[in-house]
Structure 1
């Protein structure tokens, strides 16, 4: 009788095959763990933008306390633009619609409830942003060219214009707001700004910015209505 298994000289020994399979399996598992760790790190570091739907959310996010300290930058997109709508134009074809002016007025009432005593107001020089600003605040406000230039330096310019103890309200464009969201690591699928919506950013004492949340024109109107009832 044969005392042991006979192995073909050209075939690997079973023990060696098992070792190779174990090494291969370990490499696969290790690779999966590395990918999972990378995904977890990416997911943990990306910024989620809260949609404010109530005063309670505004309070829990820290917006109201940060506003009281003069530590907030608000980026407001212009209202509905005339040249991309079938709605009636307010006046200048490069400006906003009548409906857009009404939305801006309601948003302005909401911002006024936060308090503008310690706030600097600036607008892009474009007609649509200047008109929006007029209906937001009931007056013309100062314009600066960089607010209409949605380039890679926009976020840096916005942060550098913030003065300690004063909130900064900027009437600008969707592309410029997108630049700030990119800078603060908001994922592409979550970067958006509707007409007359506002993005709130807090500037800490260390100069580090963080997004508090955003509010669209419809939610501003609901907030104003609730406050007046």
Structure 2
């Protein structure tokens, strides 16, 4: 049997007027060839990964669904590092100590010098220094609220590496909510400052003011 034999299907050439690559007479167009199951892509075409088959077996893998923890702070996307942990009580205490020193030390220093110069009269250069110290403390208080609302970090939190965010979305608080949270610290102070100690045993490491304002404090990975 030669390859030119018309009875040889492997050597049969397309008939006169029949373009190459077109199905022959009696073969419906759009049907899969012999041995190719219907609805399946041909050789060389990408296939959709069966459910549960990992990517290393040659199938593309859908991106994982991110699940929020606790009240909803979102996880970091895959490839951008792990989800930042909640800040424990020691980091929170250290950042607040730094903020308090930044705000109060100049105030007491200028106030003390002013009172010493004015002999308790509150006038003259001593009175001006005391007033400057008071204005500095008030201005720094509102500046810290602005920074925490816009970025989640006061000066102390930035040095320590912590950040205050909304529990539901992981976004910064904004100035208004940051101010309300500072006022809510009054609740932390009553009953022997138990609210400030609450993060030691709380699952979400929240103070009473955090629970009232739906906020969390996270520790950033550095």
TM over 0.5: no
Q: Which has the larger radius of gyration?
A: 2
TM-score w.r.t. the length of structure 2 is: 0.29
Q: Which protein has the bigger helix share?
A: 1
Q: Which has the higher contact order (CA 8 A, sep 6+)?
A: 1
TM-score w.r.t. the length of structure 1 is: 0.29
Q: Which protein has the bigger strand share?
A: 1
